[in-house]
Structure 1
Amino acid sequence: MVRWLWKNYQYVLAFYFAIEEIDRDPHLLPNLTLGFQIYNASPNDCRTLRTVLMWLSGGDKVLPNYKCKRQHRPVATITGTSAAFSAEIGALLELYRTPQVTYGPFDPMLSDKDHFPSLYQMAPEDSSLARAMVSLLLHFGWTWVAIFISDDLKGEQFLQGLKAEMVRKDICVALTQRLPDTKTMYGSSDITFMTRIGISSANVHVLYGEVGSLITVDLAAEFFLTTGKVWIMAAKWDIVVYEMHHMLHSFHGSFSFSHHKGEIPGFRHFLKTVDPSQYPEDVYFSLLWLHLFYCSTAGSSCGKVGECLPNTSLESRPTDINIMTISDSSYFIYNAVYTVAHLHPLLKKIQFINSAGQHISLDNKGNQTAQYDIQNTVNFPAGLGLLVKVGEFVSGSPLHQGLAINEKVIEWPAGFTEIQAGVTALPSMRQLWPGPAQSTSWALYFMLEIPANRQLRQADHTFEAALDAEQCTLCSLHEFPNTQRSHCLPKVVAFLAYEESLGTALACAALGFSALTAGVLGVFVKHRDSAIVKANNRALSYVLLVSLAFCFLCSLLFIGRPNMATCILQQIAFGVGFTVAVSTVLAKTVTVVLAFKATGPGRRMRQLLVSGAPNFIIPICSLIQVVLCAIWLGTYPPFIDTDAHSEHGHIFIVCNKGSVTAFYCVLGYLGSLALGSFTVAFLARNLPDTFNEAKFLTFSTLLFCSVWVTFLPVYHSSKGKAMVAVEVFSILASSAGLLGCIFAPKCYIILIRPDKNSLQGPKNRNHKMHRHS
């Protein structure tokens, strides 16, 4: 392998790291380990299809539709780096119903579900990249620009969007050049287009394309030196830089836009400690080690090559191969492995928070705001080839106001003269705090050259200017500035835990009420033949008590660190459990009405009461709620999310309800059912019931409705842990209201006043009162 490809081996290391991390996790795949096979992605179409057929056959020969060895059916295939490669094998994988997860750049061609129904792209769509690049152009006042794009659908779509943004901001296009595609380092390619760069008056070039097109430009730059030009490029440039050994490298000082990615905990340590001896079956790893250090690890079969020193690691790599800095594709591979590990039958429905704190969703519904890192290519000294982060762009704010650049750390190309003077202007309040119009809030920390002690405050964030500050520092979503405004600190991850006092109190209350409900159920079972238990259908009383115990226990799902299972079960258990409870109350109320109406012989009401018609209310009403919940889970189910702006210095791990419409449909149906129960109970409150059941049902449903009517405004005005606590408290309060109002009077009669627990007691009292009068 040639040197410029060795950077790609980080993809394999990211894959190994994700596999081992998942296998160590006792919760994600309990009692299971992930098996895998790794194949080299060849740029030759014929070899690519042959390799896939060999893999599907399970042997060393191509035997379509036949497996040479017994092996498990693959859960999914992770592919990349180009869209062409994924498309080539996509048609074949579709025949075998094997999902394909790609880690390459987003390509609209692969989004065609008619041709690729089982293909999923980890990279988000570059819908805001054109705006981000235009923002950078405006920041430096560059209005005369040349554009180089790949000659394909992806390049054409980007070109149209970029030109539209440039026209709106009065930026002129000096020339537009479509790039030929090169698939190999040694294949023939037309590079004469580079001659147009020398005669162009534009000193700023925008470069966008697939990997093959970028290789073409990289090869051409070795023969056509383009010093004095600034290149603005897309993310994949870090895998194709070839001639970085030149002091006057054509792309030194260029800018690269890549999707924002967090630091994967433990990955850098893994790269420092990993060596080929841990993966003896991986020949390429041994070759990489030999290429980097001219030695081999213990037990290697590399002939007479000397053995490496014990402290040899990738951290001491040559500077021309930067394996320690994670690339976009490695980050997407890490997320792809975790996506497949969730084993959802429809990968599009998977949503989770990765270890870097970023929300991952294959349908992009949870990622409405695009965030790009802006990196500067540095090649001094020669061969360094580093990408240094110099800024960020966040979409969702007005153009040119979502950009933050630290000009002091930028390395400029040799001979470049169009550098705008460092003008620092005070951002508007809208720039500092985008406000409610933006779907995801973000915070920037600025230090400006303005008089001391001047402060700008918005919501719970403070932007303070320091005297003689010379550069801007950017804090990411998961960081906040310290009190001295000198550097960024990581935010504290928080959730409603069992260990804290509020979580402990709510958990104890839930367990206590559920135990109390179980005790009441025991009392009713023990006295099941007494008059007060048999009144109004004792089977309904049993069902109501069991459902109330379930409602109390379901509140425990809201406490503790959220995960995918608890997020889904929270709302489903809440909705179905309370529906059963409220529909049982409705059935008991209808029983009271039917019992009063059925006093005459031969009446239809008596037939309904004897046939047990009220009992059918529970399954019918519950089935409707189950259907609503099934639609919710099938369209946009709840998922794990983070809230980084509710409280300063904290990131709350929360359960996003997914479809807010579905949530309010479930809650609205439950409210309608409770309101109907209250109405029927209220109309029947004065019926001459022996044990006054109708009045107790009226009080219980009134309290239930009052709790949830109060819940809505309080819930929406709360943040972080308080929001979860409000929901838990509402569940406990409404359940306790039903338990207390309906069953407390009956338990009093059963346990304290057994003399009243008969049908004769009330009649005797009425007879004595009549005789006394």
Structure 2
Amino acid sequence: MPTASSNFPFILISVSFAVKKLFSLMYSHLSIPLFRRNWKHFQNVLAFLFAIEEINKSSHLLPNLSLGYYLYNALPNNQRTIENTLFLLSGMNQTLPNYNCQAQKQSIAIITGCTPIFSAQIGTLLELYKSPQVTYGPFDPSLSDKSQFSSVYQMAAKESFLVHGIIWLLLQFGWTWVALYVSDDIQGEHFLQDLKTEMIKKGICVDFTEKLPATTGTETLLDFNHMTRIRVSSANVYIIYGDRGSVWNLVWANKFDLILGKVWVMQNLRSAHWRDMFFVVDHMPYLFHGSLLLSNQKKKIPGFEHFLKTLNPYQYPQDILLTELWTDVFHCSLAGSLCMKVGDCPPNSSLEFIPFYLDMMTVFDSNNFIYHAVYMVAQVLHKIFVQKIEIRSPEGEDQTMLLPWQQQPKEYNHQADKYLYAVILFSTQTPESLCSHSCSPGFQKIPQEGRPACCFICVSCTERDISNLTDAEHCFQCAAQEYPNDERTHCLPKPVTYLDFKDALGLSMTCTALWFTVVTAVVLGVFVKHRDTPIVKANNQTLSFILLISLLLCFLCSLLFIGHPNTVTCILQQVTFGLVFTVAVSTVLAKTIIVVLAFKVMKPGRTMRYLLLSGASNSVIPICFLIQLIICGIWLGTSPPFVDTDSHSEPRNLIIMCNKGSLIAFYCVLGYLGLLALGSFTLAFLARNLPDTFNEAKFLTFSMLVFCSVWVTFLPVYQSTKGKFMVAVEVFSILSSSAGLLCCIFAPKCYIILIRPDKNCLKGLKNKGGSRRNRHPKVLLHKSV
């Protein structure tokens, strides 16, 4: 079995036709010492030979023809690479440019790997002869440039699926803060651009990016000053994209304890034999503990495993390297060998039983690509020869002769598997790799200035906002009828609230209103019973009855403000309040006018006496009432009160309230009442020093002072309160102002009527009167009533 040297990282295979021989063998420059051989690369040769054997045994593919081949070392040295290429083009060991001493055995296709650099180096020479080059290395966009490499065909597909696989893996583990190590070449630059583009879409950030020096198979060491960035980085996940030499850089970095405890996400596409490194380097399992290796989904090569199990040097005694492999691995020699240092190899020895660190039975990406590359060349050749036969070539033409440029495989597009699987090299507890921990629901992310998007701080939502997602960009407000829960993670429906009869506040005000209503009714009853007494008559009993009835209605109208609002109560509470208070205040005004007129009668003239005796002061009430009625009519006709909801005054309650409709109309009603109260207070204040027997001028003055004080205080307090407390302020003002009028005007009179009846008579009046000057006005006042 012909072989090639197994100590090189790259293999250059030349495929040719041999009609008389199954294989055409050529060894070239095999002088590298045995201890430097990497037998893992020999598996690529075995996959190639297995494909050749299958094709040559096939009765459907290239019948009556056999494929031959040459195997060349492809050492990681530019000079040796070009030299071997010239050997291939010139034939045997000759390096004569543009001359081939084996015209009958020209190579019709070149299978190369493992790196795009090597394919590009020899491609310059191969393009001169249009020799097809099929590379089984990773996909390189530069090799797809047909203007420069028109005869290069890549077995690997574009590595965009690798980017998506890495992104998927990062998202699965929640790793959003990573560092990147990529090879400093065109392929690494394309990978970096594609990866960063997808990372931005998925919200993954990069702590730093480091370029690894491009290698051609040698273990070029990285500048350790660059590796110190790992020490200060907060990222625990590192993505490395490069070739075997790039990994060796990280191995050496372990000497500085820089990568222990980190997770390395590596790909298995740039080098077909990364995994063999994990067994040949001391402490490598500990070094890459918990790392992840991404690779193509493996598909078995049919029959290849059986081929490897049954392969042994006894089948191919002419294969020197296969014999050396057995000697090196099994520490034995073949029967009849001149080597007497070790025992004979058993006839049942197999690659299946070699040490685990070699793992010759596992099929790698490069094995698959080489296997399919051979079949691709064979299928193209088969198609070309079928066409030549159908065209009926001229007589004498050798059907097996085919120049390289005549069999360019146009339309062929090998698609590699677009599925990835992650090999967890060594189990470990899943680490975290985050610049900032996730913001739980109820918080929002605030970016940190000058740092990547993954670096942020978490800020709690305001009392009116929520966020129900992890890492929410913004909080959002609940609906007007809802409020946030304590954790601010979801909205809850607001309970409806209003000044209810069942509330402590509403109940107390209801009881107060009813109590004062009863008191007013009692006072009214007392005045009706004692209507013929001097004190009742002296102050115009009709106006007193009107005032008591209006005050009774004022106390009752406060009940309209308590309870669940509806359209009827909203209209009635404002209109009733305005009208009954107008009657009450205008009655006080009428009383004040009568007092003033009674004492003005003493002066000469008939006008004052006429006004007093004619009862003109009683017209004040209907006139004032009519004006207020017009204002209320305009209010109801333009913008009447209505039921409304207040969702802002109390964050966790939905307040049902009566909207005033037109605030201008509302304040016009209050302003008119204030004007009447101010007029009454002014007149009463001017009459405060008149003789006080049965004279209520002082009481009227004090009552108006209380009334004005209440409603002046009401305005700022009403504006500063919200919700049901605003209603409570208005109810309190109604009750307190009404109670002020009741107590200040009628309490002294009830005291005299009930406690001191001796003063409620004309005799008492005369005994107390004294001088004529003091008696005359009181008598006139009594008579005026």
Q: Shorter-normalised TM-score: what interval?
A: 0.3 to 0.5
TM-score where L is the length of structure 1:
0.45
TM-score where L is the length of structure 2:
0.44
Asked which structure has the greater CA Rg, the reply is 2
